[in-house]
Amino acid sequence: MIAQPADQYQDIRDAVRALCAQFPDDYHRRVDEQRAYPEEFVDALTRAGWMAALIPEEYGGSGLGLAEASVIMEEINRSGGNSGACHGQMYNMNTLVRHGSEEQRRTYLPKIASGELRLQSMAVTEPTTGTDTTQLRTTAVRKGDRYVINGQKVWISRVQHSDLMILLARTTPLSEVRKKSEGLSIFLVDVKQAVKGGMTVRPIPNMVNHETNELFFDNLELPADSLIGEEGKGFKYILTGLNAERTLIAAECIGDGYWFIDRVTKYTSERTVFGRPIGQNQGVQFPIAESFIEIEAANLMRWEACRLYDARQDCGAQANMAKYLAAKASWEAANACLQFHGGFGFAAEYDVERKFRETRLYQVAPISTNLILSYVAEHVLGLPRSF
Ligand SMILES: Cc1cc2nc3c(=O)[nH]c(=O)nc-3n(C[C@H](O)[C@H](O)[C@H](O)COP(=O)(O)OP(=O)(O)OC[C@H]3O[C@@H](n4cnc5c(N)ncnc54)[C@H](O)[C@@H]3O)c2cc1C
């Protein structure tokens, strides 16, 4: 492993590394081959309390910040695992902690902290409107003490491994709101009840072992107290989750990036062709060094995003920029790692092709690189709006 100076999170790093060491490469490879869910790994993380990092102590969690949560996710990916199986619980948590009612917090947080319940899913994306979130068509109509949900979602992850899901739906028609981001609301959905009452879940086979689904809502009735926060303000609330998600995924990409650098430096130091280690050639060294520099730089932006988020300051720009830089850096490290493993990079037993697929996702999800560029151009630099 590349030597790095200890930081203030070294205790967390050491503890998560020790847990991850019980789940070596062949465990994650087998889970990937079987397209299975890493149940034992997520259970171990839960039992050790890591999945409750962001839950305040008064509700049974450890009351840590996003910075610490990001270290947990980074270390999972750096160990060769894939936080994608469980990161939802981290980024969804603050949506409930910060915007949920006291009753919702008391009802759910202790059970999530103990592992009795999982909050791994967030349903935002829709098939017909994609990234244009404010145009989403799923509706929630208030009828007495219930909301009736109709519509469709796509790419909704970990639904089969979650008890609770945060759902974004329109409660006031677009034609009746001043700003298109108004009139959207978020709900805490009991997944098992929903499946009995009008939600259909259809898995989408995909390039990575990432359990994700289409969801169909046909007159699903939710109790009115499933609403999180005030009706119509859901878009603002969901941004709490989205900024946390982008920052955590930046940390995961940084973990991936270090994993690729560890593997490729070791391999190219040992693999001898033309009578010398391939890593002695500058054509091999430079792409590795370049991606390492970019990972280090992305890491600085990740800490800045964490700092602002934990101080409850606006971190939209930093969260997006951290995710952009980290996803790009890990992808470049992945390319170098695959390239310099030659043919062996394609062999499943080296794990490079698996991690290569896993890290590629983050150029597209949870927000594509183009949309980050557009956000920075228009919201940070004030250029004319393109949509
Ligand atoms: C494995 C996986 C898991 C996911 N999990 C979840 C989840 O749990 N919950 C959830 O809500 N969503 C989830 N998503 C959805 C993900 O967030 C979206 O796929 C992503 O935001 C892109 O949206 P889209 O697929 O609709 O692409 P589109 O919006 O259709 O965009 C397609 C492409 O066009 C480009 N593009 C679009 N508009 C513009 C523009 N104006 N300017 C420049 N380029 C543009 C984009 O950059 C993108 O590359 C997941 C996706 C995947 C693949």
Residue 374: the pLDDT is 98
Q: Look at ligand 1, atom 47, and give the residue with the nearest C-alpha.
A: 370
Residues 70 and 160 in one domain: no
Q: Look at ligand 1, atom 9, and give the residue with the nearest C-alpha.
A: 156
Mean pLDDT, rounded, for 237-258: 96
- Nearest to 351, CA basis, from 259, 232, 213, 275: 259
Residues 216 and 309 in one domain: no
Residue 256 falls inside a structural domain: yes
Residues 175 and 254 in one domain: no
Atom in ligand 1 nearest the alpha carbon of residue 366: 17
When pLDDT is cut at 50, 70 and 90, the band that residue 37 belongs to is very high
The alpha carbon of 370 and the centre of ligand 1 are apart by a number of angstroms equal to 10
183 backbone φψ class: left, alpha, beta (φ>0; ψ -120 to 50): left
Residues 177 and 60 in one domain: no
Rounded Cα gap, residues 158 and 223, in angstroms: 23
pLDDT tens for 285-300 read: 999 999 999 999 999 9
| Total tally of structural domains belonging to the chain | 3
Residues 265 and 351 in one domain: yes
Residues 242 and 154 in one domain: no
Residue 139: the pLDDT is 98
The alpha carbon of 192 and the centre of ligand 1 are apart by a number of angstroms equal to 27
Atom in ligand 1 nearest the alpha carbon of residue 367: 21
* DSSP-assigned beta bridge partners for residue 325: none
pLDDT tens for 180-215 read: 999 999 999 999 999 999 999 999 999 999 999 999
The alpha carbon of 375 and the centre of ligand 1 are apart by a number of angstroms equal to 14
To the nearest whole percent, how much of the chain has pLDDT over 70? Answer: 100
Q: Which residue range(s) make up the domain with 294?
A: 236-380
Residues 269 and 155 in one domain: no
User: Are 164 and 117 within 8 A, CB to CB?
Assistant: yes
Residue 5 falls inside a structural domain: no
- Nearest to 320, CA basis, from 225, 267, 250: 250
User: Are 160 and 88 within 8 A, CB to CB?
Assistant: no
Which of 90, 357, 371 should be mutated for ligand 1, with most atoms under 8 A from CB? 371
User: pLDDT at residue 52 above 90?
Assistant: yes
Domain-ending residue, one of 85, 102, 118 = 118
The alpha carbon of 126 and the centre of ligand 1 are apart by a number of angstroms equal to 9
Residues 133 and 114 in one domain: no
CATH number at residue 205: 2.40.110.10
Residues 133 and 215 in one domain: yes
Residue 56 falls inside a structural domain: yes
Going by C-beta distance under 8 Å and a sequence separation of 6 or more, which residues neighbour residue 307? 67
Which of 83, 92, 121, 125 should be mutated for ligand 1, with most atoms under 8 A from CB? 125
Cα angle 9, 10, 12; round to 5 = 70
Atom in ligand 1 nearest the alpha carbon of residue 371: 47
Residue 251: the pLDDT is 98
List, chain by chain if needed, residues with CB within 6 Å of any ligand 1 atom: 122-125, 130-131, 155-157, 206, 210, 212, 361, 364-368, 370-371, 374, 386-387
The alpha carbon of 73 and the centre of ligand 1 are apart by a number of angstroms equal to 22
Q: Look at ligand 1, atom 49, and give the residue with the nearest C-alpha.
A: 368
Rounded Cα gap, residues 199 and 150, in angstroms: 9
Which of 95, 120, 131 should be mutated for ligand 1, with most atoms under 8 A from CB? 131
Residue 129 falls inside a structural domain: yes
Whole-model pTM: value is 0.97
Residues 248 and 371 in one domain: yes
DSSP characters for 302-332?
HHHHHHHHHTT---HHHHHHHHHHHHHHHHH
Other Cβ atoms within 10 Å of 306 Cβ, number = 26
Atom in ligand 1 nearest the alpha carbon of residue 126: 26
User: pLDDT at residue 3 above 90?
Assistant: no
Q: What phi and psi values does residue 62 have, to the nearest 5 degrees?
A: -105, 0
pLDDT tens for 328-343 read: 999 999 999 999 999 9
CATH number at residue 266: 1.20.140.10
Residues 227 and 241 in one domain: no
336-372 b/e (C-beta count within 10 Å ≥ 16 → b): bbbebbeeebeeeebbbbbbbbbbbbbeebbbbeebb
383: helix, coil or strand?
coil
**CA 258, chain centre distance (Å):** 18
Residue 59 falls inside a structural domain: yes
Domain-ending residue, one of 184, 208, 231 = 231
Residue 337 falls inside a structural domain: yes
Domain-ending residue, one of 86, 118, 150 = 118
Residues 241 and 370 in one domain: yes
Residue 2: the pLDDT is 80
